[in-house]
């Protein structure tokens, strides 16, 4: 029987340019609550004793990360790709020398600054020894409408039942080998466009990840209007 304690590693892909934010530079380096957005996510993982180490994947020419990433507990991987999935796949290859196939990898969006230690440890505790892994997510509470095909005028085509619908967040936590194999398979999938996060790659690989209820504070900062909401949560205890 294997009595080795499980290890948990964080991986933050941070090679994006944040085009929808309409900012002067990559949104992960925008200042929120007095420090760069990415630093909030890094600090959340560093605050948890459950996390063995943090990896952050940036583009080869990134000139800002050295001033943002702490010198302890974090390894910067300059292997970022053109897409989020490519950045994660590249990072997993580099991480192979430091992690075991059975170690857990928590992939987190750099643009979710509201993550905190409690959410990280809730995910780890509730996933436990689940054979697949899981992700933070929020149950849908609003009525859901699907728009019609006419892109010129948005009109309701149908109302969709919100029963059993969830909004995916991150971190998304899977065993290293499963995650790497699922992402490798996703690159050759017929409908690769349907792979929008790590969990959907694992689903396409034939597995059913566990849903763990997250928190609204863990929102993804995508549009300028999201900044004020994120700062509101960051200012709260």
Residue 149 is predicted with a pLDDT of 83
Least confident of 66-75, 148-157, 178-187, 225-234: 148-157
Residue 187 is predicted with a pLDDT of 87
Residue 186 is predicted with a pLDDT of 92
Chain centre to alpha carbon of residue 40: 13
pLDDT exceeds cutoff 80 at 150: no
Residue 17 is predicted with a pLDDT of 66
pLDDT exceeds cutoff 90 at 190: no
CATH number of 8-235: 3.90.550.10
pLDDT band at 154 (very low <50, low <70, confident <90, very high): confident
pLDDT band at 1 (very low <50, low <70, confident <90, very high): very low
Mean pLDDT to the nearest integer, 174-196: 88
Residue 237 is predicted with a pLDDT of 72
pLDDT tens column, 10-65: 999 999 765 455 456 789 999 999 999 999 999 999 999 999 999 999 999 999 99
């Amino acid at each position: 029987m294997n009595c080795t304690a499980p290890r948990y590693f964080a991986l933050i892909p941070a090679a994006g340019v944040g085009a929808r934010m309409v900012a002067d530079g990559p949104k992960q380096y925008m200042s929120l609550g007095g420090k760069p957005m990415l630093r909030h996510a890094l600090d959340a993982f560093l605050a948890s004793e459950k996390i063995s180490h943090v990896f952050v994947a940036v583009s080869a020419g990134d000139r800002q990360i050295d001033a943002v990433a702490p010198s302890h507990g974090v390894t910067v991987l300059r292997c970022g790709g053109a897409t989020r999935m490519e950045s994660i796949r590249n990072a997993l290859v580099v991480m192979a020398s430091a992690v075991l196939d059975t170690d857990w990898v928590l992939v987190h969006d750099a643009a979710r600054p509201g993550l905190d230690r409690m959410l990280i440890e809730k995910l780890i505790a509730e996933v436990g020894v689940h054979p697949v892994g899981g992700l933070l997510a929020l149950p849908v509470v609003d009525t859901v409408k699907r728009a019609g095909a006419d892109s010129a005028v948005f009109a309701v085509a149908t109302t969709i039942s919100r029963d059993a619908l969830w909004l995916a967040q991150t971190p998304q936590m899977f065993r290293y080998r499963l995650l790497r194999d699922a992402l490798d398979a996703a690159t050759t999938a017929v409908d690769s466009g349907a792979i929008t996060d790590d969990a959907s790659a694992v689903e396409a690989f034939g597995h059913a990840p566990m849903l763990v209820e997250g928190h609204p504070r863990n929102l993804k900062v995508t549009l300028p209007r999201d900044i004020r909401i994120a700062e509101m949560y960051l200012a709260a205890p």
